[in-house]
């Protein structure tokens, strides 16, 4: 059956009522369960696109959705088998759906869909159904899956089976202990020895070794198996390529067409040189309105920091909001030259940093349902050095988070801020100052600095992600307080940055720990980055950050903002040195000392205070539908429909894009 036949067909009149709603009559929060709330986002600027641009975005979005199964399988090799069974039950179970057991099963299904598998999307630990195993088995029997019941029950319920997606254990082999489907039958020592044997340390433009492969052992020999059109994930990659080819025909310019051609060639061959050629071409496209991410991109899920999780993203430029990003890009060399790091580690010539504010159109793979609010790509250090990078702040996603928070009855700000002055700063400047920090983090932070000759981009190993995020955050924090931002007209006044400093310290030392189960360490890279920075400044700042108590509650209060900026500068210089020199032991020491351990008493207090607010610590999104409008056999428009059925979208994606 052709895809077109499977799509929702609606009238133009019905669509016009669904689009263009203002904040006042648009409900952002559409579902809540466990520790999650599901949010809708609007797409400003869609109606200003030409028909060709809409068609381009549509095919890019279809290409993104076809990659969904890849991520599920990457996260754990049995995830798809479990998902197919859960989808079967939700679609076809004819028994009582109103009993408490089925409600518990449905909540588990929602969590499973949200995390793209059995491990928590953020904490990476396995979560479990709250219905009894015997009831789950009854559901499987009822839809004709008795033969799978024994295995699936064990997979879903046994805490010893695939306990962590990405292991950060200090003892044991983190490759063998991780559940990600990147390795099979190999140890960490074997994997590292294999890559040491194939990498060319003298190559000034090295490929991202291992980015698009699974490492296995065949006949006692370690080998790589490619993720490509005629290899692993072939059926999904073929679907992706077909949509990318359709997008190529209606691209906005020749650069986009060349980039898409190279991306398809990479998917068909698995050749990482083609991936680099694609990224170089993709970076050149600074004039197009519609843009995308599609591929094996971020390596955060790999315990060794090599394998790229599949990710898709389609967006359109917010021209007005991008004016501030353009100013930052134009002044990138000034920021690099005045950075508080050793001049040896600065880039002498900053090339091609382009930055913009975007509105998401489609989230997919590792960016769905939970998504970042900023992106900086490509990741290869030499491409950044020689050709530049693209940095984006995702405006409509940030806005949806804020509007969704406004719909809640309680406020984490009021609970964890020390006084009314801190609350007032947050209300006056908080959202805007946070966006500026994101701009600085993505546009300048990730694009700053350079490795010394001969230092590998993978030298930091399992600590790479946390240290890189800390480096970018520190760059943003340091410059958020710089007079240059006021001079450039980006910050409204000299005190606006204080709201972001307040928020960063408050979240890093208190609020974020509501996301971690009691007794568990802090393991997620971004949370480690924030704790590392704030804990280091708290311990080394001689009272610059004070720990205060009132009515039995703990607060962290900044006493000297300028001194705190100085601490950010000092730590930024050290982390840049660590990365530039490839000082693994120093990087490990920083992360292990400041980023991992959570004080048990403080952890319990934060969890209790946050629970009393009845708020969900995590948010994620459902996509709007892009619907072709047909008249007389010809597509005359593509319109946005804002669906509000989270579970419905998950099941629809399984029906339409389930190919593995």
pLDDT digits (tens, 9 = 90+) for 3-15: 322 233 233 333 3
Would residue 153 count as lying in a domain? yes
User: Of 99-108, 201-210, 638-647, which gets the smallest average pLDDT?
Assistant: 201-210
Would residue 515 count as lying in a domain? no
Over residues 590-611, mean pLDDT: 95
Would residue 97 count as lying in a domain? yes
Is residue 405 within 8 Å of residue 429, measured between CB atoms?
Answer: no
Burial environment of residue 75 by CB neighbours within 10 A (0 to 12, 13 to 18, 19 or more):
buried
pLDDT at residue 148 tops 50: yes
The whole-number pLDDT of residue 303 equals 94
Would residue 140 count as lying in a domain? yes
Could you report the per-residue pLDDT of 359-408, keeping only the tens digit for each? 999 999 999 999 998 898 999 989 998 998 998 889 999 999 989 988 88
Over residues 315-327, mean pLDDT: 90
The whole-number pLDDT of residue 456 equals 87
pLDDT over 70 percentage in the chain:
96
The whole-number pLDDT of residue 23 equals 54
Would residue 102 count as lying in a domain? yes
The parent domain of residue 96 ranges over 77-118+127-157
Is residue 327 within 8 Å of residue 363, measured between CB atoms?
Answer: no
pLDDT at residue 17 tops 80: no
pLDDT at residue 20 tops 90: no
Burial environment of residue 431 by CB neighbours within 10 A (0 to 12, 13 to 18, 19 or more):
middle
Tokens for 603, please give them: 């952890």
CA-CA distances (angstroms) from residue 540 to 513, 563, 570, 594?
21, 11, 11, 11
The whole-number pLDDT of residue 417 equals 96
Average pLDDT, rounded, for the chain:
93
Burial environment of residue 537 by CB neighbours within 10 A (0 to 12, 13 to 18, 19 or more):
buried
Over residues 234-257, mean pLDDT: 98
Tokens for 500, please give them: 């972001």
Q: What share of the chain is helix, strand, coil (3-state, %, to 5)?
A: 50, 15, 35
Closest CA to 354 of 372, 330, 320: 330
Could you report the per-residue pLDDT of 66-86, keeping only the tens digit for each? 999 999 999 999 999 999 999
Confidence of residue 326 (pLDDT cuts 50, 70, 90): confident
CA-CA distances (angstroms) from residue 95 to 82, 100, 652?
20, 13, 22
pTM (predicted TM-score): 0.85
Place of tokens 């030298």: 459
Closest CA to 389 of 472, 466, 485, 505: 472
> 608 in helix, strand or coil?
helix
Would residue 352 count as lying in a domain? no
Q: What's the total number of domains in the chain? A: 1
DSSP structural state of residue 436: H
Would residue 183 count as lying in a domain? no
pLDDT at residue 310 tops 60: yes
Would residue 426 count as lying in a domain? no
Provide the greatest CA pair distance for the chain. 74
Pairing type for strands 29-33 and 290-298 reads unpaired
pLDDT: is 458 or 269 the higher one?
Answer: 269
Burial environment of residue 636 by CB neighbours within 10 A (0 to 12, 13 to 18, 19 or more):
exposed
């Amino acid at each position: 059956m052709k895809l077109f036949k499977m799509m929702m067909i609606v009238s133009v009149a019905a669509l016009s009522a669904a689009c263009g709603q203002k904040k006042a009559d648009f409900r952002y929060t559409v579902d809540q369960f466990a520790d999650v709330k599901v949010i809708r986002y609007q797409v400003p600027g869609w109606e200003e696109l030409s028909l060709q641009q809409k068609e381009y975005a549509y095919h890019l979005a279809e290409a993104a959705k076809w990659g969904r199964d890849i991520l599920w399988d990457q996260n754990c090799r049995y995830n798809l088998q479990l998902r197919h069974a859960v989808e079967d039950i939700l679609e076809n179970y004819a028994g009582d759906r109103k009993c408490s057991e089925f409600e518990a099963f449905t909540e588990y299904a929602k969590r499973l869909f949200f995390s793209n598998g059995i491990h928590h999307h953020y904490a990476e630990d396995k979560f479990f159904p709250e219905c009894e195993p015997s009831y789950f088995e009854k559901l499987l029997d009822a839809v004709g899956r008795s033969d799978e019941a024994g295995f699936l029950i064990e997979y879903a319920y046994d805490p010893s089976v695939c306990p962590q997606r990405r292991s950060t254990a200090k003892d044991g082999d983190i490759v063998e202990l991780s559940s990600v489907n990147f390795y099979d039958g190999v140890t960490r020592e074997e994997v590292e020895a294999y890559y040491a044997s194939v990498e060319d340390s003298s190559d000034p433009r090295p490929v991202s070794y291992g980015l698009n492969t699974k490492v296995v052992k065949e006949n006692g020999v370690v080998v790589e198996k490619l993720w490509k059109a005629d290899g692993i994930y072939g059926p999904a990659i073929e679907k992706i390529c077909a949509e990318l080819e359709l997008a190529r025909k209606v691209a906005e310019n020749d650069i986009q067409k060349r980039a898409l051609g190279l991306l398809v060639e990479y998917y068909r061959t698995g050749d990482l040189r083609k991936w680099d050629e694609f990224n170089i071409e993709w970076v050149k496209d600074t004039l197009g309105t519609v843009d995308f991410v599609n591929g094996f991109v971020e390596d955060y899920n790999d315990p060794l920091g090599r394998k790229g999780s599949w990710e898709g993203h389609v967006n359109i430029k917010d021209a007005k909001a991008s004016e501030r990003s353009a100013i930052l890009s134009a002044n990138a060399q000034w920021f690099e030259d005045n950075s508080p790091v050793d001049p040896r580690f600065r880039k002498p010539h900053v090339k091609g940093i382009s930055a913009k504010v975007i509105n998401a159109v489609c989230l997919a793979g590792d960016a769905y349902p939970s998504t970042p609010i900023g992106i900086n790509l490509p990741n290869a250090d030499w491409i950044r050095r020689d050709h530049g990078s693209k940095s984006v702040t995702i405006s409509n996603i940030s806005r949806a988070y804020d509007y969704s928070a406004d719909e809640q009855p309680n406020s984490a700000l009021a609970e964890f801020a020390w006084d009314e002055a801190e609350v007032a700063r947050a209300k006056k400047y908080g959202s805007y100052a946070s966006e500026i920090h994101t701009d600085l983090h993505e546009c300048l932070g990730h694009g700053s600095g350079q490795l010394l000759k001969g230092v590998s981009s993978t030298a930091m190993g399992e600590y790479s992600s946390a240290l890189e995020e800390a480096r970018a955050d520190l760059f943003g924090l340091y410059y958020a307080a710089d007079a240059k931002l006021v001079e450039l007209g980006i910050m409204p006044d000299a005190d606006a940055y204080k709201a972001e400093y307040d928020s960063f310290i408050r979240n890093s030392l208190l609020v974020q720990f509501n996301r971690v189960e009691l007794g568990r360490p802090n393991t997620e890279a971004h949370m480690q980055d924030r704790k590392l920075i704030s804990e280091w400044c708290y311990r080394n700042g001689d009272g610059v950050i004070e720990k205060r108590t009132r009515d039995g509650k703990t607060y962290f209060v900044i006493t000297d903002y300028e001194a705190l900026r100085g601490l950010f500068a000092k730590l930024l210089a050290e982390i840049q040195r660590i990365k530039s020199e490839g000082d693994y032991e120093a990087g490990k020491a920083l992360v292990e000392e400041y980023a991992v351990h959570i004080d048990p008493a403080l952890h319990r207090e934060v969890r209790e205070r946050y629970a009393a607010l009845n708020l969900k610590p995590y948010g994620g999104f459902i996509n709007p539908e892009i619907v072709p409008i047909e008249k007389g056999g010809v597509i005359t428009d593509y319109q946005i429909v804002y669906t509000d059925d989270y579970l419905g979208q998950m099941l629809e994606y399984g029906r339409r894009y389930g190919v593995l």
